[in-house]
Each structure stands twice: as C-alpha cells, then as structure tokens.
Chain A
Amino acid sequence: GAVVSQHPSWVICKSGTSVKIECRSLDFQATTMFWYRQFPKQSLMLMATSNEGSKATYEQGVEKDKFLINHASLTLSTLTVTSAHPEDSSFYICSALNRDKISTDTQYFGPGTRLTVL
C-alpha cells in the first residue's frame, strides 16, 4: 500500500509554455499532498502544501502565480508550471499523507518528474 504515482516522468518544453504534472495516490486517500523541487546533487525543497478542497500553502519565495496547484480530489493533485523558463528546469517530486494510516505524518513520495525547459 501507499503508492504514489506521477505523470509524466519526464517532459521537455519550450520556454514560455506551461506544463502540468499530475500526482496520484493509487491505493489510499490523501487529504494532504506536498510538492518538492530538487536540483542536481541537492536536497528536496518544499514548494507548497496542497490540501484537498482548499487553496495550497506556498513556502516563502515560491511564486503561487507561477506554480499553480490544484488538489481537486483525495487522490489527485496537479502542479502547473506556467510560462516556464530554463531556470525552472528541475526534478519535481510530490508526496502524500495517508489519512487511513495511524501514522498520519508519514509522507509517501512519488517517482518524480524531470522537467527540462529549452
């Protein structure tokens, strides 16, 4: 149990276009999902916390109008990188909290999405 998927696994886009990344909890319901960004050889940096049915909470320094997050259901959250630029190229990873687990603070991570902006 506690499997999280992401789609796509990688994407290449032109500068100025928008890219949507999906994060799904496959075998559990996730009231809360998180979006992280990871640059090469660096740690994970939390971008935002997404709660089902409400607005996402963004970390300091993360532009909410650039990184649009929608948590429309208990199993799906999406991250849209709008007007992408080369500096947005990174590894984007989502995680989810399993509301059915006693350990409600355990985050299960997706496999990540490699975004390359040309």
Chain B
Amino acid sequence: GENVEQHPSTLSVQEGDSAVIKCTYSDSASNYFPWYKQELGKGPQLIIDIRSNVGEKKDQRIAVTLNKTAKHFSLHITETQPEDSAVYFCAASPPGLSFGAGTTVTVRA
C-alpha cells in the first residue's frame, strides 16, 4: 500500500518567516495530494490540494509543489502568522487517502 513520509515532525518559525513541510510517497499510482490543517480538538480542514497533472499550485500565502518523478511534494506557507500554528498533514491518493505523520507548526509572535 501507499506509504507517506512527512518531515519535519515539528517546526517553529518566527512570525513573518516562511514554513516548508515536505512529504514523500511510495505508490506511483497516486495522483491526488491534499494538505490538511488540524487545530487542537478539531477535525482536519483541507487547505490546498494538487493533482499530478500540475507541478505547482498557489492560494494566497499557501503553495504546494509536486515532483512526480521523485515522488515528493511540499507545502510552503509564506508570511506566517500566529493563527497558522496547527498540525499539518499531507496525504496521497489513491489508493484511499494515506496520511503523513503530521507536522506541528508553531509561529512565534
């Protein structure tokens, strides 16, 4: 089955700096890569996703890049704000939706 690895497990950044989270996947059949943000005690919220027919996607301060040859994809958050502090999960599909282990992002004011 699909194996998704996510790094780093924790990330602390100064407000205004950028944050980058990287994920790799194993199944070459995967073609959909969403990113979720989860705040404490809440369900995951989809923040951005990318499909295998594009290499980069941007939505305001959030961007995702995909290298299908190398089987890795990354989340970039620019101009970080304290409200960006949360746990971020990458995922790959199909088959199903396999999640990475998560990255706890802390934005220092």
Residue numbers of A with Cβ under 8 A of B are 4, 6, 34, 42-44, 46, 49, 93, 95, 103, 105-112, 114
Contacts and interface: CB of A to CB of B under 8 A. Distances in A.
Interface in B10-43: 32, 34, 36, 41-43
B45 A109 contact: yes
A93 B43 contact: yes
Interface of B: 32, 34, 36, 41-46, 49, 89, 93-94, 96-97, 99-102
24 contacts: A34-B97, A42-B102, A43-B99, A43-B102, A44-B44, A44-B89, A46-B97, A95-B97, A103-B49, A105-B32, A105-B93, A106-B32, A106-B34, A106-B49, A107-B34, A107-B46, A109-B44, A109-B45, A110-B43, A111-B42, A111-B43, A112-B41, A112-B42, A112-B43
7 smallest A-B Cβ distances: which pairs? A109-B43, A112-B43, A111-B43, A43-B99, A109-B44, A44-B99, A43-B101
A109 B97 contact: no
B58 to A, nearest CB: 17
A27 to B, nearest CB: 15
A46 B94 CA distance: 13
SS class, residues of chain A in contact with chain B: strand
Given A103-B49, A106-B46, 11 more contacts: A4-B43, A6-B43, A43-B101, A93-B44, A106-B34, A106-B49, A109-B45, A111-B43, A112-B41, A112-B43, A114-B41
A62 B81 CA distance: 39
Contacts of B42: 111-112
A93 B93 CA distance: 18
